[in-house]
Structure 1
Amino acid sequence: MLIIQSISLIWRKQARGSNFAKVRHQFRMAYPIYNAVHDEQVVVYPFEFVQTEQGIITYEELTQQQLEKYLPTLGFTSSQVERVILRELSRFRKFEAYSSIQELNLTNLSVSSIQNGFEVSFYYDRFRSGLPFRRGHNKDYCNRQSRLYGQDCLNEIAFILKENQYGRIVWNERKKEVDTGVWYYKIHVYNLFSTISSNFKYDIFMSRTPDYEYKQLATLY
């Protein structure tokens, strides 16, 4: 079984200064998860954050703040605002479970089952990733069965996880808003834990340091 914690932090031009960078430097790379029992092969826990002028908050908190601010200006009563907030917050995913490793679909992450563990790779997906373009060794360059066959992109094994091992991938990107053309910035953290137990503790990613850590951190202009 593979447990993944997918963490992302987004910031925009207003948060590019040195003071904001100091706050991001303290951004935590691991968080508690729900203590649950799962029968699936893969469980993903998403955590999404945004940096504002007030600090780093979750997207749930940002959504609530925006609704509390704007809905009353549209004539919503306090009880109506509360109902809308509850409805919108319920849409946020608590976890995703997959019966097969092939169903996993996280950007730039490729995982394959091997004997007694998992092979974890980082690759540059030009259809989903922002800048800068990552080039380097492509382990599947000559593999006609791979969708990365013949492509000039980075595609390499980050680490191999055996039972009860913990790995972390950290990467960043710069992207452009489709509607406005404004640049924004994002850092991603994937925490992965391989286990044969379907019952795991809430602090599985906090009670120890990773056995392996792979980074693709570029300068984001």
Structure 2
Amino acid sequence: MRRVLLLGGTGDALAIARSLPAAHVYSLAGLGRVPGDLACAVRVGGFGGVDGLVRYLCDEDIALVVDATHPYAAQMSRHAREACTIARVTLWAVRRPAWQPQPGDDWRDTADWRGIVERIAGFHRPLFTLGREPLAHLHEIPALQHWTIRCLDAHPGNERADIIDARGPFDLAGERALFDAARIDVIVSKNSGGRATEAKLAVARERGLPVVMLTRPALPDADRSFDDAVSARDALQHWLTTQ
């Protein structure tokens, strides 16, 4: 049987995974909760670089890889492109469009952690929605700042940081309540795109708060790309019926 390997971890990937029959594989990096309602196999953990992924594709008779990883998981996307080229396996990708600034937005782009630190230097109560990266810098928080960090897994904070483990989607009411409770005066965000976590940007716009936006990494081309999970899922269902 010609099998599918779905590379995921995002809500887009999960929506596709729920349509996969038992013979196919949904692969997670291991940072989030493993869904319990899937018919397909679930694999957790890395492959061991490009060579390990090539071996997996060959050993498991994978005929199609669908890259539905996070837009900032650039290394995994590069590895998938290289491994599929070597193994002569078709690669599809879900490339979620980036958010675009709207009238009233105050976005301040930066490419790395150093730039983030520089851009929040004049603020007191930043909200970080970058995932795990800020957790490595808890000991560096300036005395005049208190950080609120939202990520997928629980982690102890300290006297100058609160950690919120939460997974979207987030709505306007909930985001407004968070901004009020934590007295947020600046947001630090990845440009993830999609609707699940977009409400924070609307609240920032309402309140005239700046958003320090981490620019997206460049991603490799795929043999076929989709803007959303629905289009990818429908194309995949057609592919499965023709094999």
TM-score normalised per structure 1: 0.23
Between the two structures, name the one with larger relative contact order (CA 8 Å, sep ≥ 6). Answer: 1
User: Comparing both structures, which one devotes a greater share of its residues to strand?
Assistant: 1
TM-score normalised per structure 2: 0.22
